Amino acid sequence: MKKLFFALFLTWVIASPWTGVCADEFFNYPMFGSTPNPVGSGARAIGMGGAFIAVADDATAASWNPGGLIQLLEPEISVVGNLYERTDDIRLADSPVSNGEETVHKESLNYLSITRPFHFLNRNMVVSLSYQRLYDFTREWDFSVRSQDLTGAMLMTLNAEESFRETGSLSAIGIAYCIQIVKQLSMGITFNIWDDDFLDNSWKKKYSINGLVGMESLYPFPLNLGEYPLQHSLVDTYKFDGFNFNIGLLWRTPGNRLSVGLVFKSPFKGDIKQKTVEETNFDGFLENKSSTYNEELDMPPSYGLGISYKFTDSFKMALDIYHTKWEDFIYKESNGNRISPITGDLKNKSDIKSTTQVHMGMEYLFKNGKSYHVIPVRIGAFYDPEPGNGHPRDIYGVSAGTGFTFQRYVFDIAYQYRFGNDINSSMGDNDSLDIDEHQLYGSMIIYFDL
């Protein structure tokens, strides 16, 4: 009888919308916990709202626009740290008891680099080696489930607590080279190596449920069959390897008043090793199974245009427009299915469109020429849409930053706030969420003599 109940329970879970959040919604595809847009690098760029394609005058240029590396005149090392907090205010149409706020916190190394300019064949050149954390998968959700469903003559009731945890990140080692083509024009390229063995490029999704399943037979007469404890967990682990490149150009007018930058980030295919482990304990009746797959994730191409104008030696403004072709973002399962990672549905059933980001910012420098002190003030604003089914999800943000420069030491700090209201989530057409995301960046740069 217990085996029969167990079979009925599994049929119920798989075939019936017993709650607003089903395991399938979480585990059919590698969902990005924070945002599928890459994480920005460097406190200075973040303080200017991420408008850095045409500025790109520190070592983080390798990630924003490698063509800007030519502006570095001395060897330098740089390190960037990041503190992160995100709150999801979740509203589920089919399970209002699960509505509520969920918050995650994280701290991480955002960027690390060493850069060396040199002169060769009558040309100025720069090489750089860097580490950059590009994608984050952190998410924690907890739900209360109170649900009933009639399957044939069996009335099944679930009272349980659900939990979803996603951890991990994707990072790349960047090898960059920049050359001054003519006095006002430079070109650079960054080769990004996404290697799991060296960088631990992996992420894990764990779904679990713990509660009681009540069963009542309605035929041929009502009969209460009792309540049975249930524990169920499903864990997917992904390991990611790949390679791509960024190409950038930077053109500056004489006197460097006006700068124009272009950047292209190539599409690439990431190899994924996926392992799935599922365990169910239904009133002492155990079932375990595991499987492994070799799959692929096609990452989309993107390109951007940036304009920066220096009004005085102390004041500049910048504007970036950045475009990503999310319709080319495809997860290829081992069985040949082509899935949209945004919706979890088959690619031909998903309506994913490109997104265009707009970033703007300014920087003003308070200088003390006698002591070589420089204190910057930076502010920025941006429109940072996330891809969604049918239309992008509107995300906005603001930022501010400052710092301190003394001789060969530069310290910068920046705060960024991203928010989105009434965003249609991937869990259902009538489900939505509000997000509030806070990030704090700190950068340290040390310059060396040639």
Does the N-terminal peptide bond of residue 66 adopt cis geometry, omega within 30 degrees of 0? no
Domain residue ranges of the chain, discontinuous segments joined by +: 2-447
Residue 302 or 450, more confident:
302
pLDDT of 27? 44
β partners of residue 159: 146, 212
Spell out the residues 6+ positions from residue 370 whose beta carbon is closer than 8 angstroms to its own: none
pLDDT of residue 21 exceeding 60: no
Rounded distance between C-alpha atoms, residue 217 and residue 12, angstroms: 15
Backbone phi, psi, residue 347, to 5°: -55, -40
β partners of residue 242: 194
CB 19 within 8 A of CB 329: no
Spell out the residues 6+ positions from residue 191 whose beta carbon is closer than 8 angstroms to its own: 174, 175, 176, 243, 245
pLDDT of 297? 93
Count of alpha carbons within 13 angstroms of residue 134, beta-carbon side? 25
Rounded distance between C-alpha atoms, residue 416 and residue 440, angstroms: 6
Confidence band (pLDDT; 50, 70, 90) for 26? very low
Looking at every residue in the chain, the average pLDDT score rounds to 86
Rounded distance between C-alpha atoms, residue 155 and residue 224, angstroms: 9
Rounded distance between C-alpha atoms, residue 405 and residue 412, angstroms: 8
pLDDT of residue 158 exceeding 70: yes
What DSSP line would sit under 382-414, residue for residue?
EE-PBP-BSSPBP-EEEEEEEEEEETTEEEEEE
Spell out the residues 6+ positions from residue 221 whose beta carbon is closer than 8 angstroms to its own: none
Rg for the chain (alpha carbons), in Å?
A: 26
Measured from the Cβ of residue 178, the count of other Cβ atoms closer than 10 Å reads 29
Residue 189 or 152, more confident:
189
Q: Looking at 49-58, 141-150, 320-329, which range is the least confident one?
A: 141-150
**CATH superfamily of the domain spanning 2-447:** Outer membrane protein transport protein (OMPP1/FadL/TodX) (2.40.160.60)
What mean pLDDT do residues 384-410 have? 90
* Positions of E strands within 183-257: 185-194, 202-217, 223-252
Of 439, 433, 356, 369, the residue nearest 88 (C-alpha) = 433
What mean pLDDT do residues 126-138 have? 91
Q: Looking at 61-65, 161-165, 325-329, 369-373, which range is the least confident one?
A: 369-373
Give, rounded to a whole angstrom, the gap between the first and last alpha carbons of the chain.
Answer: 80
3-class SS of residue 9: helix
3-class SS of residue 198: helix
The pLDDT tens digits for 216-234 are 888 777 888 888 898 889 9
pLDDT of residue 153 exceeding 80: no
The pLDDT tens digits for 288-306 are 899 999 999 999 999 999 9
pLDDT of residue 111 exceeding 90: yes
Confidence band (pLDDT; 50, 70, 90) for 40? confident
The pLDDT tens digits for 51-87 are 999 999 998 999 999 999 999 999 999 999 999 998 8
Percent of the chain with pLDDT over 90: 52
pLDDT of 23? 44
The pLDDT tens digits for 262-284 are 999 999 999 999 999 999 888 78
Spell out the residues 6+ positions from residue 241 whose beta carbon is closer than 8 angstroms to its own: 194, 195, 196, 201, 270, 271
Residue entry with tokens 């994608």: 135
pLDDT of residue 2 exceeding 70: no
The pLDDT tens digits for 346-355 are 888 889 999 9
pLDDT of 431? 66
| Positive/negative CA dihedral, 43, 47, 49, 55 | negative
The pLDDT tens digits for 84-110 are 998 888 776 666 656 677 888 889 999
